[in-house]
Amino acid sequence: MEKIIVAGFGGQGVLSLGQLIAYCAMYQNKAVTWLPAYGPEMRGGTANCSVVVDDKEVASPIIATPDTLIAMNKPSLDKFLPKVRKGGLVIINSSLISDKVDNPDLKVVYVDANDAAHKIGNDKAANIVALGAYLKHSGLFTKDAMADTIAKVFESKSKFIPSNLAALNAGFEY
């Protein structure tokens, strides 16, 4: 079982990142739950989602102790970091978070997600860069499985597929 919290502010693609993990899980015949939580603001408010992936039916979408935290901004890091289980993985968007996590019980990966997305020409793809880094360090799914998922999800908006795949690859390099 893998329990993931993705958190940031509205407009960062936090919920979309979680959905991509959930879709990939479904395409891999895994059991999955995706539970969004966000403030009333459209952009700039807080947003997070919980994703639970397992080989058997998931009993609850509620996560008290995540295995992984993907923090896209500092308030999200501050809120959810204390909840990550010992030995857990923390992906930090170092474009917006300058803090360093001093906890030897956690595997911490700093990803300059906004800068990497800007370099590939898609400033809105920082979430996909973070997703690529998550895949590399978690091993939950292969990069190819997620690339296939991105192609399926964006099938009706095919012009977005190349830049999202480039973002996925950029994140996988971290």
Domain ranges for the chain: 2-172
DSSP 3-state assignment of 98? coil
- Determine the Cα–Cα distance for residues 88 and 85; give it in Å rounded to an integer: 5
The per-residue pLDDT for 45 is 74
User: Model confidence over 50-63: pLDDT tens digits?
Assistant: 999 999 999 999 99
Per-residue pLDDT at 24: 98
Q: What is the pLDDT of residue 46?
A: 82
Decide if pLDDT at 25 tops 70: yes
CATH architecture assignment, domain 2-172: 3-Layer(aba) Sandwich (3.40)
3-state secondary structure of 35: strand
| 81-136 pLDDT per residue, tens | 999 999 999 999 999 999 999 999 999 999 999 999 999 999 999 999 999 999 99
- Mean pLDDT, to the nearest integer, of 61-88? 97
Query: Residue 13 region, left (φ>0) first, then alpha (ψ -120 to 50), else beta?
Result: left
The pLDDT assigned to 53 comes to: 98
Under a CB-based contact definition with an 8 Å cutoff, are residues 67 and 85 in contact? yes
Going by the DSSP 8-state scheme, the letter that residue 1 receives in this structure is -
